[in-house]
Structure 1
């Protein structure tokens, strides 16, 4: 049973992917990680040896710490974080409990190389509309919360990727791109192994908006309209991305929690 310093896998699944999700820290030893190099979605891999230096970076945030079985490494790290003023919990049963529950896990080998600060770096075409906002949202919320995105001229995407160690996406002839009728968002969900009913529903909306298939979902035209509106509101692509994060947060929560809810203005007026 969860306590005030632990959280169950079931409760954690409800937090991952949301705008206010806590920082999820994997402190498994290198040996344990090598034995199963997968990550709980949204988690970052850090060494417990450096926990005393994390106070400034995590100030004002909450954190959940996971080790292999939720024992000494996670509990000691969380205790250190609480000493530093960070609201920290441990994942009950650790990585093994999450795996035993058959919850999504991301293969670390699918991630691009990280930069000197431990971040994945991605590059795509400037002036994003749908996929090039949806994919960064997916990566930030479920893959790497610290990911960096570079928007450049279409002709320079590959070259910039090579020079700056960035993974190109949503252009032709690269790994992270459209495949058949699937858009890049679909491909990322599949490759990262994070398919859930909510994300698959959202993927249908994204595909409909991104590939001119409004028939796929009645909400797809609304997503396209909002995306095109954002592209007209912001000249700066990074500012547009930050605004788009809120848009996709809202669509994700609708896909997960509110598809059965309708809205009307009830009235008790007697019909004439």
Structure 2
């Protein structure tokens, strides 16, 4: 049992009894070599074989097997994280923010452990990190109030560096598109890893982060805050805003158009591992959505 637990711990998938499969990577090769040596020392027999394909199983099917092994773990982490929101809102048993942050940190460590076995990402890891980051911000800024609309002029925000968290999802992708198309045509974007902070002294503008004004305020998501503060009155934008909001607040039952947009965004996140390339593709998607809504509204 100890050997099987170690095989599972490195992320191997069982194709049939006695046959485990892993992607070929140097770090995994070393771990497999140690496992083989241990099995042989215990009187068993184990061998590793490198191959480009497995008979009767396509590469896509193999990737799906790996995803099916880790994605439920990401889902479980998301569910446990959302239970922290209930504790935070209801303060059950007077749970303190410090205790909630400690619980959140344990979930983040679990997520990182699972990511080590996420050899063929489906997008579940990115969504899980987004949930954890969102809850972390709520815990660290529990008293943040909705700020009145600032009535800002886009002309004052030309050629700026806009900063947000890495692995953007629906609200950050939509907000970045909104910034580039309607607020700062010369905008540059910087994506920060967990723990990194924007350099405000150098004029970097954070959005959808724990610092700065362009982030969730009360019931408004970042996309809505930008529309409000820059006074962007546009029915087509309002339609897009509704979709982004539905997905970002994770409504249990999404309208068909929001569900379709979510599926496309999930696909982009799963297949674009460079955040700038992800944003580039998302911009094309939002451009198309905007053009489609404009055409519909104009009759």
Q: TM-score, normalised by structure 1?
A: 0.50
> Aligned equivalents of 1:156 and 1:260: distance in 2?
44
Aligned pairs for 1:157-172 (under 5 A) are: 157=197, 160-172=198-210
> Aligned equivalents of 2:259 and 2:190: distance in 1?
27
> Aligned equivalents of 2:212 and 2:194: distance in 1?
13
Gaps of 5+ in 1: 1-105, 262-272
Aligned pairs for 1:25-64 (under 5 A) are: none
**Aligned match of 1:222 in 226, 238, 260?**
260
> Aligned equivalents of 1:161 and 1:213: distance in 2?
34
Q: Does 1:256 align with 2:285?
A: no
Matched-pair contact (CA < 8 Å) for 1:110–1:192:
no
Higher relative strand content = 1
- Give how far 1:165 is off: 2.0
Aligned pairs for 1:108-127 (under 5 A) are: 108=153, 111-112=156-157, 119-127=159-167
Give the number of equivalent residue pairs.
Answer: 149
Aligned residue in 2 for 1:242: 280
Gaps of 5+ in 2: 1-150
Q: Over aligned residues, Cα RMSD in angstroms?
A: 2.4
Identify if the C-alpha distance between structure 1 residues 153 and 189 changes in structure 2 by more than 3 Å, giving closer, same or farther.
Answer: same
Deviations 1:24-56 (A, max 9, x none): xxxxxxxxxxxxxxxxxxxxxxxxxxxxxxxxx
> Aligned equivalents of 2:154 and 2:240: distance in 1?
25
SS of residue paired to 2:189: strand
Aligned pairs for 1:73-222 (under 5 A) are: 107-108=152-153, 111-112=156-157, 119-157=159-197, 160-213=198-251, 215=253, 217-222=255-260
Higher relative helix content = 2
> Aligned equivalents of 1:145 and 1:109: distance in 2?
9
> Aligned equivalents of 2:231 and 2:252: distance in 1?
26
